[in-house]
Amino acid sequence: MNRKNLADDLIAILTAQPNLRRDLELVRSLNLPDWCMAAGYVRNAVWDNLHRYEIRTPLDDIDILYYDRSNLSEEYEKTLEKRLESVNPQPKWSVKNQARMHIRNNEPEYVSIEDAMKRWPETATAVGVRLTDEGRLQVIAPHGLDDLFGLNLRQSPFFKDREFFLSRVRNKGWLATWPRLTLPDP
């Protein structure tokens, strides 16, 4: 698959989402360093599209990542969530500074959002987008887009806990929600 075309395909799918631009502009207004909207917001839109679902699968939350070593306060993240929820209360917002998440995950310090995302359990979830100052969508995908578009639930090579990964796949119910997904051997 052509990586450039997949990025273009992703942007086309996302720009067809009615609330995407509003949500991205709202997050951009926070002026966060090195930020993106990631995980289910992006992944589910692609899987819904590939399954030809006319109604979008409901989101549990909207994941916002940023990287700021100068402020590692979890309380600040909660303040940002409240600001976002005051404008758009549904679904819930989840804002996480990736500069501190290595502590929770008991790993070496992450150096960027890409570095943090590549350590997530599955490759297809480690995809995000941001709105540039010029108003364009920029894709962040440290593992590429092949697994996302190939409907592969592949464990990240940087995530070593296979049982946690399999439990996560089961608990999320992804295989029931999107039956064309495959679970490749490690």
pLDDT tens, residue order, the chain (186 aa): 556 699 999 999 999 998 999 999 999 999 999 999 999 999 999 999 999 999 999 999 999 999 999 999 999 999 999 999 999 998 899 999 999 999 888 889 999 999 999 999 999 999 999 999 999 999 999 999 999 999 999 999 999 999 999 999 999 999 999 999 999 987
pLDDT of residue 150: 98
Q: Where are the domains of the chain?
A: 3-177
CATH of the domain spanning 3-177: 3.30.460.10
Asked if residue 66 lies in contact with residue 33, where contact means CB atoms within 8 angstroms, the answer is yes
E-strand spans in 80-134?
92-97, 128-131
pLDDT of residue 112: 97
pLDDT of residue 2: 55
pLDDT of residue 122: 97
* 83-88 CB contacts, 8 Å cutoff, 24+ apart: 83/30, 84/26, 84/27, 84/30, 87/26, 88/19, 88/22, 88/23, 88/26
pLDDT of residue 180: 98
pLDDT of residue 105: 85
CA distance 64 to 94: 6
pLDDT of residue 104: 85
CA distance 131 to 24: 6
pLDDT of residue 3: 60
Residue of 25, 7, 48, 18 lying closest to 138 (CA atoms): 7
Q: How open is the CA angle 112-27-122, to the nearest 5 degrees?
A: 45
